[in-house]
Structure 1
């Protein structure tokens, strides 16, 4: 399914997007009281093994975040224009992008589940 563009653009002029399963756009990550403006790409899914929503993705390369974390994992508050959630950053890839994960309500709205079929 194609992403649905949200009307307000990011500070860099790029729109943020929301689709059935995720969010791509601007976010503020707060680690130990220090806030960093970043761009994230996040997805979510309900895991059958525990019945909870797990959200996950990557933070685009951001020098300020890299300097703050120094390659280490940390608990983080994630705030997007559409929501907020506590998560964890860590697992830096070869392109200096941090993995971002959380369990529970993600920092972006979820679509309503389909209505049950009626006969």
Structure 2
């Protein structure tokens, strides 16, 4: 991916699981990119759901599940999240898509 391309991502419904609470559905916009300083793909985004900062959660999309941490609320009542490990959506850098 060149530095001018949009990050890969997901925009749709997710199931949000927090320990000790029933799973909830929410809309999410998530993106992934290669971070040369970390040396790996990192992902983050926002949930249309209020979750306290520093809460660890499991996000599930139709493509899979991934662990994340809520980082902060935004001005519109959404929660920003940062992914830990593999994203819960397809990422060409990780999935070995055919070269163009």
- TM-score w.r.t. the length of structure 1 is 0.67
Number of paired residues? Answer: 91
Q: State the Cα distance separating 1:114 from its structure 2 match.
A: 5.7
Residue pairs, 1:53-92, within 5 angstroms: 53-60=41-48, 62=49, 66=50, 69=51, 71-92=52-73
Do 1:92 and 1:99's aligned partners in 2 also have CA atoms closer than 8 Å? Answer: yes
Where does residue 22 of structure 1 map in the other structure?
Answer: 9
Q: Could you tell me which residue of structure 2 aligns to residue 14 of structure 1?
A: none
Report the 3-state secondary structure (helix = DSSP H, G, I; strand = E; otherwise coil) of the residue aligned with 2:30: strand
CA shift in 2, pair 1:20/1:91, >3 Å: closer
Larger RCO of the pair (alpha carbons < 8 Å, separation 6+): 2
RMSD of equivalent CA atoms: 2.1
- In structure 1, the gaps of 5 or more residues are 1-18
1:32 and 2:19 are equivalent in the alignment = yes
**Distance (Å, rounded) in 2 between the aligned partners of 1:113 and 1:81:** 19
Structure with max Cα Rg: 1
Alignment TM-score, normalising by the size of structure 2: 0.79
